[in-house]
């Protein structure tokens, strides 16, 4: 499954190549249309890390143990291997282009995130050797919206990892003061669209690209106790 700052949810792994290329024009031969989120003056993630700051033990729907934690600079080799496990269809869904490998400079940049602008999480094996899922949001304090992207190892799709990642990213975005989380995926990415519907996202076709679907979810603001308010 794959979803992008132009991709899907549960489908492979480079959950952010397209985002990185978009925000680093010098690396991007396929420059896409999206804006670069402005950076706030302080680290929202360090101030409001949510449940994943030090790692969270989780289990797949079929009982496999994984660790959910923030991405780290030393994850770059594992991220490259994870990208290599993606099917061609997953790669296309995630980055909207045909790529056979994740360039090492891009992998390093993806793993060394600026916490003022990005929250990035990975699901890794119990021994930490391999990345099985990756997701992130780019925070835009000007619009109070967070653009998300994620991908899941093809051998781990259908096990609840996409749902977990989106839920945690939404929680972290809300804690960071965002009022909406959104992402784009291809219209034929049925797995991603089904998950988005299940989680309450609104879906709409992009006016300038009928092949894309915009997924968006309003986030309830936090009250004084740190809980989401209800209406």
Cβ atoms of 1 and 9 within 8 Å: the answer is yes
Count CB neighbours of 36 within 10 A.
13
Q: Is residue 21 part of a domain?
A: yes
Whether 28 shows a pLDDT value over 60: the answer reads no
Average pLDDT on 3-13 reads 41
Cβ atoms of 79 and 13 within 8 Å: the answer is yes
Of residues 196 and 38, more confidently modeled: 196
**Domain around 128:** 2-218
CA angle 110, 113, 115 (to 5 degrees): 155
Q: Is residue 24 part of a domain?
A: yes
Q: Is residue 167 part of a domain?
A: yes
Q: Is residue 226 part of a domain?
A: no
Q: Is residue 223 part of a domain?
A: no
Cα radius of gyration rounded to whole Å, the chain: 16
Sign (positive or negative) of CA dihedral 8, 90, 101, 67: positive
Query: Band of the pLDDT at 97, cuts 50, 70, 90?
Result: low
Q: What is the pLDDT of residues 130-185, one digit of tens each?
A: 999 999 999 999 999 999 998 899 999 999 999 999 999 999 999 999 999 999 98
Q: Is residue 133 part of a domain?
A: yes
Average pLDDT on 48-63 reads 71
**Dihedral angle of Cα 65, 17, 85, 194, to the nearest 10 degrees:** 70
Q: Is residue 224 part of a domain?
A: no
Percent of the chain with pLDDT over 90: 48
Query: Band of the pLDDT at 230, cuts 50, 70, 90?
Result: very low
Q: Is residue 158 part of a domain?
A: yes
Domain count, the chain: 1
Look up the CATH number of the domain holding residue 118.
3.40.630.30
What is this structure's pTM?
0.75
Average pLDDT on 34-55 reads 41
Residue 171 has a pLDDT of 95
Query: Band of the pLDDT at 51, cuts 50, 70, 90?
Result: very low
């Amino acid at each position: 499954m794959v979803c992008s700052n132009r991709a899907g949810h549960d489908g492979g792994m480079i959950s952010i190549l397209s985002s990185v290329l978009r925000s680093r024009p010098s690396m991007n031969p396929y420059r896409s249309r999206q804006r670069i989120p402005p950076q706030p003056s302080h680290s929202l993630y360090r101030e409001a890390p949510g449940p994943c700051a030090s790692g969270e033990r989780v289990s797949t729907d079929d009982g496999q143990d994984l660790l959910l934690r923030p991405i780290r600079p030393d994850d770059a080799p594992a991220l490259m291997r994870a990208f290599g496990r993606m099917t061609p269809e997953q790669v296309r869904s995630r980055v909207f282009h045909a790529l056979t490998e994740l360039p090492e400079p891009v992998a390093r940049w993806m793993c060394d995130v600026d916490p003022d602008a990005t929250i990035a999480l990975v699901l890794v094996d119990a021994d930490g050797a391999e990345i099985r899922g990756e997701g992130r949001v780019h925070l835009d304090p000007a619009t109070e919206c967070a653009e998300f992207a994620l991908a899941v190892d093809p051998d781990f799709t259908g096990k609840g990892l996409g749902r977990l990642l989106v839920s945690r990213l939404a929680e972290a975005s809300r804690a960071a003061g965002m009022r909406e989380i959104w992402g784009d995926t291809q219209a034929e990415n049925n797995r991603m669209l089904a998950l988005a519907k299940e989680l309450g996202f609104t879906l709409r076709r992009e006016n300038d690209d009928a092949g894309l679907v915009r997924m968006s979810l309003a986030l309830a603001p936090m009250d004084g106790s740190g809980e989401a308010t209800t209406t």
